Structure 1
Amino acid sequence: MRRRLYVWYRFFVVVSLFGMLVLPFVVQAQTVSQGYGVTGAVQKGMIVMLDPDDSQKVMPLTNKTDKAMHGVVVSANDTVVSLGSSNSSNQVYVASNGKYDALVSTQNGPIKNGDIISISALDGVGMKADAAQNVILGKALTNFDGKKNVSGTTTLQSAGGERQVAIGLVQVDIGISRNPLAVSVSGPPVPAFLRKSSESIAGKPVSTVRLYISLAILLITIFLTGSLLYGGVRSSLVSIGRNPLAKKTILRGLVQVVIFGLIVFVIGLIAIYLLLKL
């Protein structure tokens, strides 16, 4: 009886540990936006950056400062938790993770579901990414062909002369990260096989921070599962050697330990999947 209680105790300790490690990231990814003051003209759906002169304010992101990408302006009602400051009367809310509408243009052509979104030549407005951008906002979840649901149009100067582009809203699965299409002289910050594996699981580019957190959770999962199985098998063999008559009871306890180990491993895999996917 005491042995069984000990096994249950270890199991609940492991589950609690995973909850403390993973849940804060999942909650933050889906439900939290931060309030900021504004510098310049900022509206809902704009891609913004922190004001270099005042970290309590945001301003429209430009294509020359794409590495400073911070998130998308959303409504306070779009998220479950909106963290704001009462010091600013002109306040907007910014989401750095989650699925929200973002302003985009057809500068790089029509946007389709699954296209990667980055900043365009229009301040605060995104477009379909190419190799010229360093950072991406995330993956488009809806289409925008520049013909339907157009919010406005503008004219851009290009090498071929002036051309008109349409502006509208698409839903984006926000996950600010390095542009996988960009050519980097120094190489990617993580091994290529890890990045490809994470992107195949998530179905979108994954930030380096999330990737390394997921890798850490995987290593912790393997360690805890191995410890449970090793401890259970070792103690069971020792117990059988000391008391052969209790072999059935000891083996039943070993089966429980194996099941708990598998449950811990599955919980770890689910946690990694959620962290990469959300």
Structure 2
Amino acid sequence: MGNFRLALVVVVFLVLAVPGITLAQAPAALGGVAVNVEVKDEDVQAGDIISLTKEGLVRTAAGYDVSMYGVVSAAPILSVEPKTDTSKSVISSGETDVRVSTKNGAIEVGDFITSSEDAGVGQKATESGYVLGKALKAYSGDSVGTVPVAVSLGYATITTDKGPAAAAGSFLQRLAEAISDPDKFGVYLRYFVAGVVGLISVFGAIFAFIRFMNTGLEAIGRNPLAKKTIVGGMILSGIVVAVLAASGLGIAASIIRFGK
């Protein structure tokens, strides 16, 4: 009880003493810390998905947009940076209501939500790509509505029943979009390089492990008396291969994070 009171006092002190920190005037339905920023879009409204472009923050108007910045929130539980008449509270992490449509299918709990070609409106993600987060409630309305979303911007891998041709078509479409926008191209290039490094690491490790196993078994067959020594060498080789594979995956993850 004492620790709770102390924490409450600290929070109240920070809110009162630190400029730019504001609590919601009314209880917020969802939790989320927002940043008050200037949005260069006069038609933006609460629940809109916005992207960071060369012109500034505007409503997102492309599917799986890698430039997604966050969601405009009407009443965040906490906001930082001074609030002005023209600024908007934007949440980039946490839970908030998001405007969505069912143009890509009805939304179920746990579905990934991404941007769409309708300005500011999200949709169900049906293929791998950049997403806004996960839906916390289902939605199947015919018109644009709102659903609470756990916002966590990033790339999501979505498994579908589409064949290789459809997957290749989707990849080429994303590649064309990336080439047309230099900012997006850099992001896609990072993911591509990271994927290549990751695949080389995994398949290289599997190939090396199989080769070491075959060589070891052949050596045991030729010299059974040295079985313990050979098995020890095989185990050591396996450990080295595992370390190299883990290092490769770590490098791939670092490539994805680079530039964010």
TM-score by length of 2: 0.48
Indicate the structure whose relative CO is greater, using CA pairs within 8 Å and at least 6 residues apart.
Answer: 1
TM-score by length of 1: 0.45
- Choose between structure 1 and 2: higher strand proportion: 1
